[in-house]
Amino acid sequence: MKKYFLLFSFMLLSSVAFAASTAYQEQTLERTAAVTKIIKAPFTTNFMGIYWPHLPNFTYNKNFYVRHSSNGKQWSSWKEVLLMTEGPDENHEPFDYGHLIYTKNANFIQFKTEKVDFSKIKLNEFHFVFIDSRKPPVTLTKKKAKRSIAGEEFVITPRTGWGADESICWKTENPTAQESVTHLFIHHSALNSNIPHEECDDAIRAYLSYHVTTHGWSDIGYNYLACPHGMLFQGRRFSVETTTVDGKEVVTTKDVIGAQVSKYNKGTLGICAIGSYMGEVQPSQELKTTLYRYLLWQVTHYGIDPLGQTAYTPAGAKEAQTLQTILGHKDAPAASTECPGDTLHPVIPLLRTQVAERLKQPPPK
Ligand SMILES: [Zn+2]
Ligand SMILES: [Zn+2]
């Protein structure tokens, strides 16, 4: 199946972009808000991303917005483009990226800025990424995880279950197995919208496309994903090791180092809650249950105290920081993000307690 992906860098209204007069340029510099013309999408787009040259010392706060339309007449509300600080430890990209925005079936988009200093960035330096990740629906297959929580069945959707395009992944390197895991990060995908379950696999394929093709990473950044409807998905490819035990070949899979919290990837795993947990949107009970089971699974497997705080030394740092073992992306010091959103973040202490309580009980017979 063809994978549609296009980078589209738009031209600003020519009278502004190419104005030669000094007076006009001064006028441009004084502006802090701008709205583009309506931009026609190159194909019907279900997810879009935006990136722009890195702005040093710029605190992003309600600056960039997108709206979308299928027919050019009825428009969505303006959706804020939220800064994405997920990424590998070694990050030398000259751009800042927004989280993907769910546009369902957009044929037109419009972009606007607020509170932007146009002496630092020009409108025509913004790049738009259009993605159509719809395919004939894949059957969302589940399989029992190899690791089990004491006495409880655990179900995970493998990469084949969401239709990972393996041909674009891991072309120049292999996944690096985690030596140990001490901390578990929780993210949200900041899609700016709720998404129906039939499209959850579309969303994961869109993240894969954005992370690999746009960012240049080897695979989707998150180790796992959970959808609002309660399914748990494998994200990043596992490391697969074959050993011989008593003359028999034994294949084991191991979690690998992700690209989910820049500088905090080694020894940590990241799960992304699909959806946007800001403002009015509350995490569903199904999502909370899935996160609880996932955390129970990981703390059991790696011997993590769910209520504990342990030392972590971020990549490139000299001193260790004390971090809760189960934490949100924004709990990483200096992570400039709202992730996992103001309604999911307060759930994390409850999840820690729930997991700790469960560990005190004997496994069910
Ligand atoms: Zn995050
Ligand atoms: Zn779903």
H or E element at residue 159: helix 159-162
SS3 156: strand
pLDDT, tens digit, for every residue of 186-209? 999 988 778 999 999 999 999 999
Whole-number average pLDDT of the chain: 86
78 burial via Cβ count (<10 Å: 0-12, 13-18, 19+): middle
Grade residue 8 by pLDDT with cuts at 50, 70 and 90: very low
Q: Which ligand is nearest to the CA of 189?
A: 1
Average pLDDT rounded to a whole number, residues 351-365 = 86
Number of H helices, E strands in the chain: 6, 19
Q: Is the pTM of this model over 0.85?
A: yes
CA of 286 to the centre of ligand 2 (A): 10
CA of 89 to the centre of ligand 2 (A): 29
Q: In the structure encoding, which two tokens stand for residue 316, read together?
A: 């490139």
CA of 27 to the centre of ligand 1 (A): 37
CA of 173 to the centre of ligand 1 (A): 24
Average pLDDT rounded to a whole number, residues 91-110 = 91
pLDDT, tens digit, for every residue of 214-239? 999 999 999 999 999 999 999 999 99
Q: Which ligand is nearest to the CA of 258?
A: 1
pLDDT value, residue 204: 95
| Per-position b or e across 232-263, b if 16+ CB within 10 A of its CB | bbbbbbbbeeeeeeeeeeeeeeebbbbbbbbb
- CB 327, CB 186: distance < 8 Å: yes
Grade residue 120 by pLDDT with cuts at 50, 70 and 90: confident
Average pLDDT rounded to a whole number, residues 142-160 = 72
Grade residue 354 by pLDDT with cuts at 50, 70 and 90: very high
- Which residues lie below 8 Å from residue 172, measured CB to CB, with a gap of 6+? 218
Who surrounds ion ligand 1 at CB < 5 A? 187, 329, 339
In angstroms, rounded to a whole number, what is the distance separating the alpha carbons of residues 195 and 39? Answer: 24
Q: Which ligand is nearest to the CA of 85?
A: 1
CA of 350 to the centre of ligand 2 (A): 22
Q: In the structure encoding, which two tokens stand for residue 298, read together?
A: 């990981």
Q: Which ligand is nearest to the CA of 336?
A: 1
Average pLDDT rounded to a whole number, residues 129-149 = 72
Share of the chain above pLDDT 90, in %: 66
- Asked whether residue 68 carries a pLDDT value surpassing 50, the answer given is yes
CA of 215 to the centre of ligand 1 (A): 15
Give me the DSSP letters along 304-332. --TT-EEEE--TT-SS-EEEESEEEGGGS
pLDDT value, residue 22: 31
Helix axes 285-302, 348-360, angle to 10 degrees: 50
pLDDT, tens digit, for every residue of 253-296? 899 999 999 999 999 999 999 999 988 889 999 999 999 999 99
Q: 3-7, 180-184, 335-339, 340-344 — which is least confidently predicted?
A: 3-7
Q: Which ligand is nearest to the CA of 222?
A: 1
- Asked whether residue 35 carries a pLDDT value surpassing 70, the answer given is yes
